[in-house]
Amino acid sequence: MSAYGCQEMSAKLERVLMRRPGESLKAADPQKWHYGPTFDGARAVEQYKHFAQLVQAGGAEILWLEDSGDGLADAMFTHDPSLMTEKGAILLRMGKPLRLAETALHEEAYNKAGIPILGRIVAPGTVEGGDCVWVDAKTLAVGRGVRSNQAGIEQLQAILAPLGVSVLGFDLPLWQGEEACLHLMSVISPLASDLALVHAPLLPAAFYMLLRDKGIRMIVAPPEEFAASNGLNLNVLPLSPRKVIMVDGFPATRKAMEEAGCTVETFAADALCIACEGGPTCLTRPILRGAA
């Protein structure tokens, strides 16, 4: 089956591209990869298994990439090197130089699965999936910052224009510097088509106004948990509208979502997500959401 198509963020997750961490992550030098003090490769691999079980139990078909020791420790964050549209995949170009080689892994997987390639971002353009947020099926917001640049955003607009999609760039702050990971998705997780979890202080103001005008309700995540989790309390993956997976240990954020009608599942992720700066959304590249 070569079903694909995904221009939304929370409809039922039907198919997803994921990479099981293994030798590359276990051998990763935390300094080189900017991983934090709670990094522990072997424990991260164990914690990932629980995450994968939750995704599978939600009914999604997982297309697997394997970590056979290619040294690409960040490649488990499959959200970033490609994007999916109703007309096929867009191969992106990573702004973090250590991750440039990951795009080829996605290209190979799509070729194998019979999923067409709609376009690709080329130098000097850079766009990472973590900077891309479908506000609705015809509006893609892209965070412009360290990882995604203006040239990349313009290329993406040209690729998506024939689909009737508008690409809107929003400036991100430098926040914790060039080495740290701050994507547009670091400050928002869509939970349903009309509901999102946000870290309000770091939202580009014009992006906030756009969401407000579109009638999207924003739950403001407790800032102390944002700080304590390195921002990962906010990185929440919907398996379907209001049915979500988050990292364990942030009860106030969980409660805020439950009060908005969400069902929340958690997994322990200190060694995996908190340390490696990527959460449940980053660990998944949705290929198909909603009905085909």
Ligand X SMILES: NC(=[NH2+])NCCC[C@H](N)C(=O)O
| Residues that bind ligand X in the complex, under the rule CB under 6 A | 74, 77, 79-80, 96, 99, 130, 181, 183, 185-186, 276-278, 282
* CA separation, residue 1 to residues 16, 89, 108, 113, 196 (Å): 13, 16, 16, 7, 32
CB of 12 to ligand X, least distance (A): 21
Least distance (Å) between residue 153 CB and ligand X:
17
Which is closer to ligand X, CB of 181 or CB of 236?
181
Q: Which is nearer to ligand X, 30 or 258 (CB)?
A: 30
Q: How far is CA 103 from the centre of its chain?
A: 15
Nearer to ligand X, 86 or 179 (CB): 179
Q: Please state the closest distance from residue 36 (CB atom) to ligand X, in A.
A: 10
Nearer to ligand X, 121 or 276 (CB): 276
Using an 8 Å Cβ cutoff, are 152 and 126 in contact?
yes
**Cβ of residue 186: shortest distance to ligand X, in angstroms?**
6
Distance CA 172, CA 182 (A): 8
For residue 183, the minimal CB distance to ligand X (Å) is 5
Closest approach, Cβ 114 to ligand X, in A, equals: 26
Please spell the DSSP secondary structure of 184-248, one letter per residue. GGGSEEEEETTEEEE-GGGS-HHHHHHHHHTT-EEEEPPHHHHHHTTTGGG--EEEETTEEEEES
Q: How far is CA 185 from CA 31, 157, 182, 200, 278, in A?
A: 24, 19, 8, 12, 10
Q: Which CB, 79 or 106, lies closer to ligand X?
A: 79
Q: Which is nearer to ligand X, 161 or 179 (CB)?
A: 179
Cα–Cα distance, 35 to 7 (Å, whole number): 31
Residue 102's contacts (CB-CB under 8 Å, 6 or more residues apart) are 72, 74, 75, 80, 81, 94
